[in-house]
Amino acid sequence: MTIARVALDVPVACLFDYAAPSLGRECIGKRVLVPFGKRQIVGMVMEIANQPSISPQRIKPVSFVFQDIPAIPAKTLALFRFCSDYYHHPLGQVVMNALPSRLRRNKPITQNANRWFDLTETGRRVDLSTIPAINVLRRKLLERLKTEGALEIHEARKIAASAQKSLNEFTELGWVQEIAPPAISESRAIPAPELNAEQEQVLRPIRMGEFACWLLFGVTGSGKTEIYMSLISQALVKGKQALFLVPEINLSPQLEALLKMRFPQCRVVCLHSGLNEGARLENWLLAQSGQAQIILGTRLAVFTPIPNLGVIIVDEEHDASFKQQEGLRYSARDVAVYSAKQANVPVILGSATPSLESYQHALSGRYNMAILSRRAPENAALPPLRCIDIRRAKLNEGLSETLIAALKERLQRREQSLIFINRRGYAPVLMCCACAWISGCSRCSSRLVLHLREKQLRCHHCGHEECVPSACPNCGNVDLIPLGQGTQRVESALSDLFPSARILRIDRDTTRRKAMWPGMLKSIQEQQVDILVGTQILSKGHDFPNLSLVGILNADSSLYSTDFRASERLFAQLMQVAGRAGRADIPGEVLIQTQFSDHPLFEALRRNDYSAFAETLLAERRHAGLPPFMHQALLRAEATRSSTVMNFLADAAKVASRVDHEVTVYDPVPAHMPRLAGRERGQLLVQGASRKKLQAFLNDWYPKLTEKAGKKVRWALDVDPLDF
Ligand code: ADP
Ligand code: ZN
Ligand code: ZN
């Protein structure tokens, strides 16, 4: 009896057996339709076996085998298994969620991507006027083919949704034929700048065709992008594909453009969650079939089957958005390293401020370190950085006189400035002067942020919105004051101070509609903006050549946070923002307003010394027994009542103490944000001195958790958690 073991998108950690008399091993990696309860659902064949693992009477047959696309390669299936094992997430959910949504539907897909049509000799001789005028569409199509030559099916569909039908008719008439896709672009490649000595040195030891993980530690503006381009080109020359992972694509439209310009003969596809289903599927298929040579994507792209993988690049490797925070809580950076090893190709993790995990790996020799210590363009220097002590300074709406004067100077010189404040909205909270009531979220343990422009109070955690009250809900006093600052407030303070300056606010509120961002970027680059006010969106890898001043407000709250990663993050963020200043010929300057100007973090920033700071932090972490020297997993739980959560966690801790392993199990505690969207949350931390020990423990513990958790608790295991 032939049995197909099928992965299904259900929260159960096993494969499901179905009878498949006519199937063989070639079906591994194919999608199938199978009966599940009363429904038919789509799954993926992971194994073919001779023996069922349940009683043969209970086995139902596979209903249908999809033949619409080639099977998922064994390497990709192995990657899914690794993720399921390592992150302790049901295999079926890992597999099915890694697929583009169209492939999870009960219907086969019709694959039309990259089909090209051109006129035949007969077609070319057809006189347009012989086609009846009411056939508008057919005329349009023919006209388009006559004037501009071959066209791709998507373009045809844009002319009319039913274009395929007309093209079929034309084909039958012998007017049109399907042709091989033409070369991507006729335009010539934009030449790369000549690499400097440091860049050459970094590239020399990186070899194609063998696994090695490289940490490319290069200061902002040191030309890491050129290193990536050069490695991609080496892979392409060998006929290989390149995977390029970035934290966010919508924020860096220039990168896609650059890749297309540098490699005009190649197909570059993007993969990220902002694409519509059709585009996502199409790009995924182009990668899987090997037709796309360069795959540029966000974290989810790490699961794309790439048959001919030659190199993986992870840019801004320190960025927290490589870690997925729900479902399969994977780190795309770590998965990328695994898949590079699997494919035996080099992987490059680039950053000006590497994560301490990667940095420690590089120090210990597990990863190779490559360093770019200087800015690449000849005259560009790293900007000097100064702290403004706001305990002594007089502030005008949160802005010191020094900063205001510096802004004025830039306006006079027609240079750009950037004010960084990592809080959107007008003020983080609204308060009553009479009774000290503050605006809190009714569903979360958080405060409602005042958005003055929209006249709303908004919760940035659960999305709850309400109108700004005209009087205090507690005592009726009408005197409510906004406390603290957000981007909107800074924007309005600046426009009061500099009425003629062109100010642009950039935060999640103003870039929400994704089409907005490229336009904003363009207006910055075309010098239509004098002062930028924005959140961390602005810290991510943009090149603003005319920007010469960066002002940083309100960074202090992270200096003494309870989260042990807070200072690592703050340092990275400030260094990245500071790196926006003075990238070309104009010298830059960075001003930081703080109450703690002697703090070692600012001292290290002033010296622009990431290594020294990282090494201090690492020494602290080693001493305190924290990652990267320890390995953690966090059991997260939530329910409507906090007692349900805490009881489950206490049970889990009890079970853990009976599992005999060398790990430390901490006490259950409420989550950092104990209430979110109306649910109570708690967590339990376990920590082991090695990955192996921790994994051995989790393997024993995980199945027991499944038994303990009742229906009332929602829980998840977060391996290598970043947020607490
Ligand atoms: P990073 O990604 O390290 O912050 P970029 O790759 O964006 O830096 O490079 C910064 C600037 O330096 C870009 O404008 C880039 O064109 C330029 N650049 C890179 N390499 C060279 C080089 N070898 N010679 C001259 N300019 C270079
Ligand atoms: Zn009040
Ligand atoms: Zn809320």
Per-residue model confidence as pLDDT tens digits over 537-570:
877 767 788 899 999 998 888 888 888 999 999 9
Ligand 1: atom nearest CA of 194 is 23
The closest alpha carbon to 150, from 177, 113, 186, 174, belongs to 177
Q: Does ligand 1 lie within 6 Å of residue 377's CB atom?
A: yes
Residue nearest to atom 2 of ligand 1 (CA): 224
| Average pLDDT score over the chain | 91
Say how far apart CA 335 and CA 82 lie, in whole Å. 9
Token couple for 649 = 């966690």
Would you call 210 exposed, middle or buried from its count of C-beta atoms within 10 A (0-12, 13-18, 19+)? exposed
Q: Does ligand 1 lie within 6 Å of residue 683's CB atom?
A: no
Say how far apart CA 56 and CA 431 lie, in whole Å. 68
Q: How far is CA 230 from the centre of its chain?
A: 23
Q: Quote the ligand 3 centre to 637 CA distance (angstroms).
A: 18
Cβ pair 531, 502 in contact under 8 A: yes
| Residue among 194, 226, 231 to mutate when testing ligand 1 (max atoms within 8 A of CB) | 226
Q: Quote the ligand 2 centre to 460 CA distance (angstroms).
A: 23
Ranges assigned E (strand) in 452-601: 456-458, 465-467, 480-483, 503-506, 531-534, 547-552, 589-594
Mean pLDDT of 459-473: 94
Position 380 confidence tier, pLDDT thresholds 50, 70, 90? low
pLDDT for residue 151: 86
User: What distances in angstroms separate CA 701 from CA 417, 554, 718, one per listed residue?
Assistant: 53, 43, 13
Residue nearest to atom 15 of ligand 1 (CA): 223
Q: Quote the ligand 3 centre to 425 CA distance (angstroms).
A: 15
Angle at 560 between CA 558 and CA 562, to 5 degrees: 90
Residue nearest to atom 5 of ligand 1 (CA): 223
Looking at this protein, which amino acid is placed at residue 322? F
Q: Cite the DSSP H helix spans in 65-215.
A: 74-87, 91-98, 121-125, 136-148, 153-159, 163-173, 197-203
Residue 173 has pLDDT above 50, yes or no: yes
Buried b (16+ CB within 10 A) or exposed e, 319-350: beebbbeeebbbbbbbbbbbbbeebebbbbbb
Ranges assigned E (strand) in 219-360: 241-245, 268-271, 294-297, 309-315, 346-351
Residue 352 has pLDDT above 90, yes or no: yes
Residue 515 has pLDDT above 90, yes or no: no
Say how far apart CA 710 and CA 706 lie, in whole Å. 8
Mean pLDDT of 259-280: 90
Q: Quote the ligand 2 centre to 693 CA distance (angstroms).
A: 54
Q: Does ligand 1 lie within 6 Å of residue 195's CB atom?
A: yes
pLDDT for residue 242: 98
Instruction: Name beta bridge partners: 571.
Output: none
Residue nearest to atom 23 of ligand 1 (CA): 195
For residue range 690-711, list pLDDT tens digits in order: 999 999 999 999 989 988 888 8
Residue 219 has pLDDT above 70, yes or no: yes
Name the packing angle between helices 253-262 and 224-237 (round to 10°).
40
Residue 583 has pLDDT above 70, yes or no: no
Position 247 confidence tier, pLDDT thresholds 50, 70, 90? very high
Cβ pair 152, 174 in contact under 8 A: no
Q: Does ligand 1 lie within 6 Å of residue 353's CB atom?
A: no
Say how far apart CA 607 and CA 594 lie, in whole Å. 17
Greater confidence (381 vs 48) lies with 48
Question: Within 10 Å of residue 42's Cβ, how many Cβ atoms?
Answer: 21
The closest alpha carbon to 632, from 722, 699, 523, belongs to 722
Which residues, in sequence order, are CB contacts of 155 under 8 Å at separation 6+? none
Q: Does ligand 1 lie within 6 Å of residue 218's CB atom?
A: yes
Greater confidence (77 vs 219) lies with 77
Q: Which residue has the tokens 């239509």?
A: 528
Cβ pair 110, 67 in contact under 8 A: no
Greater confidence (542 vs 656) lies with 656
Ligand 1: atom nearest CA of 224 is 3
The closest alpha carbon to 633, from 688, 706, 696, 681, belongs to 688
For residue range 96-149, list pLDDT tens digits in order: 999 999 999 999 988 666 678 899 988 888 888 888 877 888 888 888 888 888
Mean pLDDT of 145-159: 82
Question: Within 10 Å of residue 585's Cβ, how many Cβ atoms?
Answer: 11
| Residue among 200, 227, 543, 580 to mutate when testing ligand 1 (max atoms within 8 A of CB) | 543
Ligand 1: atom nearest CA of 541 is 4
Position 183 confidence tier, pLDDT thresholds 50, 70, 90? low
Looking at this protein, which amino acid is placed at residue 28? I
DSSP-based three-state secondary structure for 500: coil
Ligand 1: atom nearest CA of 372 is 3
Say how far apart CA 496 and CA 488 lie, in whole Å. 12
Ligand 1: atom nearest CA of 545 is 14
pLDDT for residue 186: 47
Q: Does ligand 1 lie within 6 Å of residue 220's CB atom?
A: yes
For residue range 635-655, list pLDDT tens digits in order: 999 999 999 999 999 999 999
Cβ pair 396, 538 in contact under 8 A: no
Cβ pair 228, 281 in contact under 8 A: no
Mean pLDDT of 449-474: 94
Q: pTM (2 decimals)?
A: 0.89
Please state whether 174 falls in left (phi above 0), alpha (psi between -120 and 50) or beta.
left
pLDDT for residue 160: 78
pLDDT for residue 436: 93
